Structure 1
């Protein structure tokens, strides 16, 4: 959701813009038809399974009981993402958004009775126009994005946000009492929290820069998210692009916050593109994606961080894109998106593993 300003496409385009790299081998006629699903060094991954095949699929998030996933996908001839559900074996795939406009950042309520996602369909039934990248690699902040709540199969969608500009990246608290989301309503990209019916909106961050992709800890007391804190000329560039409805990714760090104290705590400081953080159910570890070990910026791997010691462990070793990780609420499974085993360059699919703590 969680993760992205323009959904899955934004991060995949980033990889493509930086260069085809290892991902392009999937389209090389000399490459084998099938690539490995499991790579040397991925010691925490047991019984890896590929759940989707073809297209662009990512931001897959567990239902609270761990039996289903909700995700976004560009498929069925569409030009932008729609929201889908499936069981954790990859069966019973069905679309739960309207199929109009662009959608991103979906999540299932803890009680299973509703879903939320962001959509531009009220601003237009067609996919929004992609941004002009003459200014380099930028993400669009489509002002038509609002957050909607619907029944578990997408029935009776109701609009939760109704302010000018971008509202997206919403997720439920595991307690079911709050939704955290990102909004442009103050003129900057900040984190906000609201009740599940859209009432009682509170602003959580107020530093210049992008704050987004937040998730609650298992006990609902903490948030983890990604943020940029541009300075000097970088801040001028950020604000100039923001006025055009754009933002430039590249340097994003991981932060956490206790919802009682509400003081941001920075976990990473490596100058890389760190994103898609999620709490381990033990509340002591964060899993996230980063290109910190690739000077070219193309290779995103998953990492596990100890929140107290800041000790890092690399989890994935595929030479391409691995991102959007989420633990099941019992900590027994991990779902993520990857370019591994793609049939064409840049294809992204959803994978699930049994988590081995070791």
Structure 2
């Protein structure tokens, strides 16, 4: 949730995954490196086909929801599977492009963004002469709720601009998401039925990939807030084309109502996909601040102190998310990839 789509990840991480494939072909790197075993053990690969991203736990810790581009689908669709990687099934419509899924508090449904109403073909990012990664904030994205027991599909947003990157506070039932309305990409919250819409951020720039703390009192998110006139002009120009291309992103924390926003990283590079520890005091995230060619997982306190590196693999590590009991960490990685730009879902026991 940042919450990148699979297409964006492929663009952003091409160099890093290529490096990981070279290392793997030489047989020099195990799945779990010795320096990673301080916090991780019992590593298990859960997916083996397609390109997979944004795997998130169910409230009971028994299931995972994730997005994947795999045959016969042309773009990301939403899947669920058991926490051991079994019983994989698609729960989106199979049409358009999907992103950013998350379980409801009762575990009987998932929310996600999809473009399927605009047509069966997935929208494409326009070709632009930009040296950085670019991803589409397609106006056809709307947020839906899929009931897993009845397979009823319920529309939650109805907006001419982008609506996506949604997660839910399991304690309060509120959804936080990124939306293009009121002239910018901001964070909003709403009830689980789509009512009681509230705007949370108003600073010019992109805010996204938000997660509620376990108690529902705070939100962590990533942001690119352009400062110079040149940065502002480029951001607005690209936004009119339906894309964004942040040169940097940092992490922020704020109260659930949008007050007391505080920047907690000033690392440079791209810092994204933050998620809370179950204790609500720390945040795990992915960053390339230490190496522009690769992403690793890091931990930081919610006040911005205590930065600690978790992974060291030459393959990219992204989208970390803790099981509700804090015993397991799931994330997506290019380690053991069978083809260029492939990501798979991995699970490991967490050692604190």
TM-score, structure 2 length as denominator?
Answer: 0.95
Pair 1:189-2:185 in alignment: yes
Pair 1:220-2:216 in alignment: yes
- Give the match's secondary structure for 1:189: strand
Pair 1:113-2:111 in alignment: no
Pair 1:159-2:142 in alignment: no
- Give the match's secondary structure for 2:34: coil
Pair 1:97-2:92 in alignment: yes
* Post-superposition CA distance 1:3-47 (Å, at most 9, x none): 12xx1221221111x56652341685xx23x95210121110010
1:62 counterpart (57, 64, 84): 57
Report the counterpart of residue 22 of structure 1 in structure 2: 19
Report the counterpart of residue 119 of structure 2 in structure 1: 124
1:241 counterpart (238, 244, 247): 238
Distance 2:32 2:120 in 1: 40
Do the aligned residues in 2 keep the contact of 1:181 with 1:193 (CA within 8 Å)? yes
Do the aligned residues in 1 keep the contact of 2:201 with 2:258 (CA within 8 Å)? no
Distance 1:302 1:19 in 2: 14
2:71 counterpart (50, 60, 76): 76
Structure 1 residues 158-177: aligned runs within 5 Å: 158-177=154-173
CA RMSD for the aligned pairs?
1.7
Distance 1:11 1:209 in 2: 21
Q: Give 1:141 shift.
A: 1.3
Distance 1:117 1:341 in 2: 28
Q: Give 1:270 shift.
A: 1.6
Question: CA 1:19 to 1:319, structure 2 compared with 1: closer, same or farther past 3 Å?
Answer: closer
Moved over 6 A (4+): none
Gaps of 5+ in 1: none
Q: Give 1:249 shift.
A: 2.6
1:311 counterpart (296, 306, 312): 306
Distance 1:24 1:64 in 2: 35
Do the aligned residues in 2 keep the contact of 1:193 with 1:202 (CA within 8 Å)? yes
Q: Give 1:76 shift.
A: 1.7
Pair 1:255-2:249 in alignment: no
* Post-superposition CA distance 1:142-194 (Å, at most 9, x none): 11100001102671111111011110011111214200000001121100000
Gaps of 5+ in 2: none
Distance 1:22 1:328 in 2: 30
Report the counterpart of residue 207 of structure 1 in structure 2: 203
2:319 counterpart (313, 316, 324): 324
Distance 1:120 1:239 in 2: 23
Q: Give 1:131 shift.
A: 2.2
Report the counterpart of residue 134 of structure 1 in structure 2: 129
- Give the match's secondary structure for 1:9: helix
Distance 1:154 1:22 in 2: 44
